[in-house]
Structure formats: C-alpha cells, structure tokens
C-alpha cells in the first residue's frame, strides 16, 4: 500500500483483490528507523474494514515491541518487525503469536542471515528486504536472489515451515526469478499501485511469477 493513493485505497484494494492478490501489505514507518513517515494504527483499523484479505503490517519502526501487539488488535493478521530495531526479538515475536497473528522478522539488505538464525523457529515468516527500506519505487538489489536461496536452504536444513516474503523492487521483469528462488509471498507496490489498472497489474504479475517455475 506504500504506493497507493489513500483517497481511493478501498477501490484499489478491491481491484488488487479481483486481480488475485492474496495479502494486503502495509508499510509502517516512523521517521526514525527509516527516514520516511507513513501510516499507523488508525489506517490499519480502516483497512481492516475495507477488505477480507489478510492484512500484513510491516513495522519499519524503532522499538517495535512497544507497538507490535497493538497492530494485531487493530486488525493485522501478520505483523513483522525488523531484527535491526528490536533488542528483544523473541519476546516481540512470542507476543504477536500470543495475540493470534503470524509473526515475521524483517531483515535489511546489509544484515547477514546469521542475525536471524536463532529466531527462525519463533517466526512464521521472514521479510527479506530487496531494497533499503524507507521509500517506494526503488530498484531491486540483485544479490537478494542469492540471499533468498541461502535463506531457503537455512529453513529447509532446520526442518522449519517459516515462509519467505520478499519486499522491494519486484516487478514483471524479475518476479519469475524471485519466485523460482523460493519466495512464498511476493510484495509489489509500485508495480501494482503505480499503474492505473491494479487489477490487471496483479493478474499479470501472478502470470509472470509462474512462468519459469
Ligand atoms: Zn514492506
């Protein structure tokens, strides 16, 4: 939703849903963990009323443990927090799960996978950032593909069911490669809401994603 026009968010979500979108991803930014400020709890509450799709709140904020459970209360079905921002990741993930939502760990491009190794079993999904978080419309960082493959292997070796969500710069040109490398959930912002036909954009992305798999 980072690339959405908020005055018509409800209509755009419906269009994305018709195109086959499975999850609505909301980027929450605080102006501290990332330079940008976006939306908070009231918007998540409104979105909850606007769609039946699962809401995925990606918290790009400092001290996410202070707010994560409030996002579940606001209606998020999935809440992810950054490993770089949380000194007590285990507690935060456990709290999200205890409230009944899926708990995710988000990880920046420059952060090594070893930083989340101990927490993988406590997470339902990992948000692998394929751009530096903070703004929409950035270019996909090519080394993310190799990182994605290594994360897939790490999860498999531990016999875990942790899903991988990839976030940033995915479009029709690279979605097949991203899907083939092992992403379970693919976030698209500009590629969907940056167009004037979100329904068609989602449908074309879904078709492109399965092309080479
Ligand atoms: Zn995001």
The domains of the chain are located at: 6-212
- In whole angstroms, what is the distance from residue 196 CA to residue 40 CA? 26
Fold of 6-212: TIM Barrel (3.20.20)
Q: 92 CA to middle of ligand 1, Å?
A: 18
119-136 residue pLDDT tens: 999 999 999 999 999 888
Q: 183 CA to middle of ligand 1, Å?
A: 15
Q: Which residues contact 16 (CB under 8 A, 6 or more apart)?
A: 24, 192, 193, 198, 199, 202
24-62 residue pLDDT tens: 999 999 999 999 999 999 999 999 999 999 999 999 999
Q: What's this model's pTM, rounded to 2 decimal places?
A: 0.96
Residues 12 and 4 sit within 8 Å (Cβ to Cβ): yes
- In whole angstroms, what is the distance from residue 6 CA to residue 94 CA? 32
Q: 75 CA to middle of ligand 1, Å?
A: 17
pLDDT at 212: 59
170-187 residue pLDDT tens: 999 999 999 999 999 999
Active site amino acids: 27, 167
């Amino acid at each position: 939703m980072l690339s959405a026009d908020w005055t018509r968010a409800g209509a755009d979500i419906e269009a994305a849903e018709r195109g086959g979108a499975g999850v609505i991803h909301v980027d929450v930014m605080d102006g501290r963990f990332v330079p940008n400020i976006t939306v908070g709890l009231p918007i998540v509450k409104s979105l909850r009323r606007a769609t039946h799709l699962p809401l995925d709140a990606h918290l790009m904020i400092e001290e996410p443990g202070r707010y994560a459970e409030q996002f579940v209360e606001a209606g998020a079905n999935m809440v992810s927090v950054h490993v770089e921002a949380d000194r007590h990741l285990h507690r935060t993930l456990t709290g999200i799960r205890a409230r009944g939502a899926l708990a995710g760990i988000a990880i920046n491009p420059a952060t090594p996978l070893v930083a989340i190794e101990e927490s993988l079993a406590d997470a339902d999904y990992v948000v692998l950032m394929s751009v530096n978080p903070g703004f929409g419309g950035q270019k996909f960082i090519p080394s993310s593909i190799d990182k994605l493959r290594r994360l897939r292997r790490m999860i498999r070796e531990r016999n875990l069911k942790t899903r991988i969500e990839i976030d940033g710069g995915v479009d029709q040109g690279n979605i097949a490669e991203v899907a083939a490398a092992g992403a379970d959930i693919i976030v698209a912002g500009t590629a969907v809401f940056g167009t004037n036909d979100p329904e068609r954009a989602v449908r074309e992305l879904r078709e492109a994603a399965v092309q080479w798999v």
